[in-house]
Amino acid sequence: MDRIYLDHASHMPVDQRVLKIAEPFLIKDFGNPSSLYSAGLEAKQSIEESRAKIARFINAENEKSIVFTSGATESNNLAIRGTAFRNLKDGKEVLASAIEHISVLNPMKELQKNGFTFNIVPVDSNGVVDLNKLDDLLTNNTIVTSIMYANNEIGTIQPIKEVSEIVHTKGRYLHVDATAAAGRIPIDIQKDSIDLLTLSSNDLYGPPGAGVLYVKPGVKVQTVMPGGGQERGLRSGTENVFAIAGMGEAARIAQKEMRKENARLEKIRDKLINEILKIDQAYLTGHPKQRLPNHASFRFSHIEGESILLNMDMYNIQIATGSACSHKTLEASHVLLAIGLKHEEAHGSMVITLGHSNKIEQVPVVVKAARETVERLRRLSPLAKKR
């Protein structure tokens, strides 16, 4: 059976149009962007063109606000640790929602070791941040508040405009991890009044190895990786021209094609949700409406998510169970626990994220494989037998 790939939230293929733009910088147009000879200047020009493309993609004030990094994890660390340490005189508190990616939560936990107070904003059963609790927890000493645009595990989209208004009334800087959202929903950082924003190249069908941190003009950030002073002194190291050139082109294509592609994916997503929920004791996780157009996430009673993943792989169908960055711990997903699921419920997770290669004709194949997988695992499960 042909492969059906349904894990685009963890890794996307590089768009062939993107590869065409980026590939020359690996083979014939290579040059260090810091060098003054022609090859270096051409590489530098390509970086600046990508910077401008991404600035347009998120409606940034200007391209100087775009800082290239190695990916979303580095961008999140730079946003949180860099901003917290640079603004120590103004306070030592940081704040994040309970369902942030671990590359946000762990840097904040590290800040606790340096005397910072780290508070967590709860979410409701659909994964929407509690705005009243956010308001209660914010103080004048809260330097960085991090609320993701949309969650990669349950697909829920956050009310970022409302979050921003609360943060800027009582706190200082709002950081938004837009890794899962970019290319799926329009992002306008000026309209939403965002101070710091994270993007990932590979989550836009660009090459792995590049990311962006948008830094609003006037926001003070210090480097967390000193060196040669590239990228406004915030991210030292020779730039990955191949990945950066690809990321810029991927952002341009996403901006142009997003509306049409998302309308197509929504039809597939909705059909998958409708059919999979017909399976006995199958439940949707995340917001039923306020969710990413390519995202369908479920839980099944009495079985384990890793077993679901491995069994679906036997059908040559690749899905996820929780975050690809955290499943190695074998712990229940912190996101699913935060929305109120019990540990045994959180372990039965299946996450489907759609992409360019997915077609509506694949839905019956996926649903059949999911139904047979669930039935097989329940026959083997001692928990199911106790019912």
Long-range pairs, 235-240, Cβ under 8 A, ≥24:
235/67, 235/68, 235/69, 235/74, 235/78, 238/32, 238/33, 238/34, 239/33, 239/43, 239/47, 239/68, 240/68, 240/70, 240/209, 240/210
Interval 240-266 mean pLDDT: 97
DSSP 123: B
- The mean pLDDT value of the chain amounts to 93
Report d(CA 156, CA 290) in Å as an integer.
Answer: 6
Residue 161 in tokens: 């405009």
- Which DSSP category does 66 fall into? E
Percent of the chain topping pLDDT 70: 96
- Look at 96 and 346; give whichever has higher pLDDT: 96
Q: Rounded to whole angstroms, how far apart are CA atoms 181 and 85? A: 28
**Percent of all residues in the chain with a pLDDT value above 90, rounded to a whole number:** 82
Least confident of 188-202, 265-279, 326-340: 326-340
**322 pLDDT more than 80:** no
* φ and ψ of 140, to 5 deg: -65, -15
Residue type, 321: T
Chain Cα centroid distance, residue 262: 17
Catalogue all structural domains in the chain, each as residue range(s) with its CATH number: 4-11+258-385 (3.90.1150.10), 16-253 (3.40.640.10)
Residues labelled catalytic:
325
Model confidence at 386, pLDDT cuts 50, 70, 90, reads low
pLDDT value of residue 112: 96
